[in-house]
Amino acid sequence: MPKTKILKFPAGFLWGASTSAYQVEGGNVNDWSQWEEANADRLVKQAKTYWQPWQKEKFPEMFERDNYFCGQACDSYHRYEEDLALVKNLNCGAYRMGLEWSRLEPRPGRFKMAEIEHYRKVLMAAKARNLKIFLTLWHWTNPAWLVKRGGWVNKDVRKYFSRYTELIVNELGDLVDFWVTLNEPMMIVGHGYLDGKFPPNKKFSPALFKVFNNFVAVHKDCYKIIHQKFPDAKVSLTMTTGAFTPANKYNLLEIIMVKLANYFRNDWFLNRIKGYFDFLGVNWYHYDRLVWYPPFRKNLNEKVTDRGWEIYPKGIYLVLKNYQKYRKPIYVLENGIADADDKLRPDFIKEHLAYVHQAISQGVEVCGYFYWSLLDNFEWAEGWWPKFGLYAVDRKTFKRTARESAKVYAQICKNNQIEVG
């Protein structure tokens, strides 16, 4: 029998769960809800050729138009008390949640104070449960009026977002522990303006450089606005990170490809905002084994998620070691798996945390880990079929049901340790 080993995390290590506003709240109109209406039929048709046979067999709902509408989502707008209780049931000390800009400013310059009051109630309910709050200001969705003005290509987005940020800082800032200005801006740069998967569906558009620069400027503006009001505030963003290795560790071309992929995926944006983040928010899901010939990736895929992503726990270690050079506290704000059967998730969590622990033991200042996601939620262009939640959600009744992995994660959080074989 192999001996189990206990890996203890540092005292004060912060355990949490993450959500985003649009993916769980429901009942909202923004650029994504409008995009769903325009693209649902296309996504149904695309699913017939895009996904692998085993995925199509396992998730026939991908061929239903309704799959691609967020709609009432998880109804967390009304059920936030229940969801916060679920976070506490996991023995977490923190919760990452988002605000929905389009709810708060449905028309330019016209803020709905009733929605501000709603979010204040949510934040106060979290505080009543002694949860530290990581508040995300922007998680991909935009007011419809902004899109009509060019969206993130328009240089005036700096002015608009600053106006929104100032409102949040003044009205809700006293209830925020950690600020996340932007969630994964490089995902929108890449999928919105390079491969066209996300709105506004541009392919190889030179506008991506304008969008990139506007994201950089907006983050810096927000950093200043928040620190002006709260000098000791902890402000950052979340980066969608990738881990890369060469298929042949002696192939010079593949080694160069890995270095370039790592720079543009993980470092390019951060190098532009040096001096404007107090910690680093890391989201990690993706690993690629790069080869010098098309299609330039050759993953072994010995074990994959329902989304078809290779499970490669060492990748999170590679990302954390890379970010050690910035000499800032690091919080893993998203790490999760699409696993409807919940067969892989318990080991997925423990195996990734073992590599987080290894990074910590080598001097990387990782201060917290947040599982994505608290709930099964709307997964953007894939819709509802990928299940990332520690809690399953019935789409008709909104009933939350704890998966076995929720119990595993709750024990980890409670004991501040993992057991590995």
pLDDT of residue 2: 64
Q: Where are the domains of the chain?
A: 5-420
Please check whether residue 412 is in contact with residue 354, taking contact to mean a CB–CB distance below 8 angstroms. Answer: no
pLDDT of residue 101: 98
Residue 139: helix, strand or coil by DSSP? coil
H-helix or E-strand spanning residue 334 = strand 330-334
Which residue pairs, CB below 8 angstroms and at least 24 apart, start in 39-48?
A: 39/68, 40/65, 40/68, 40/69, 41/65, 43/68, 43/381, 43/383, 44/68
CA distance 20 to 17: 11
CA distance 115 to 99: 10
CA distance 377 to 73: 7
> Kindly report the CA angle at 18 between 111 and 150, in degrees rounded to 5?
40
**Which one-letter DSSP state was computed for residue 297?**
B
pLDDT of residue 1: 52
How does strand 400-402 pair with strand 391-393? antiparallel
User: What's 364-418 look like in SS3?
Assistant: CCEEEEEEECCECCCCHHHCCCCCCCCEEECCCCCCEEECHHHHHHHHHHHHCEE
Please check whether residue 231 is in contact with residue 240, taking contact to mean a CB–CB distance below 8 angstroms. Answer: no
pLDDT of residue 3: 80
Q: For the whole model, what pTM was predicted?
A: 0.97
Please give the span between the terminal C-alpha atoms of the chain, in angstroms, as a whole number: 10
Strands (E), 5-121: 5-8, 14-18, 94-98
Structure tokens at 282: 């890391």
Structure tokens at 96: 């990452």
Structure tokens at 352: 């990734």
How would you label 209-248 residue by residue, b for 16+ Cβ within 10 Å and e otherwise? ebbbebbbbbbbbbbebbbeeeeebbbbbbbbbbbbbbbe
Structure tokens at 409: 């994660």
Region for residue 201 given its phi and psi (left: phi exceeds 0; alpha: psi -120 to 50; beta: otherwise)? left
For the 5-420 domain, the top CATH level (class) is: alpha beta
Strands (E), 123-226: 132-138, 178-183
10-residue mean pLDDT series, the chain (421 residues): 87 98 97 98 97 98 98 98 98 98 97 98 98 98 98 98 98 98 98 97 97 98 98 98 97 98 98 98 97 96 97 98 98 98 98 98 98 98 98 98 98 97 82
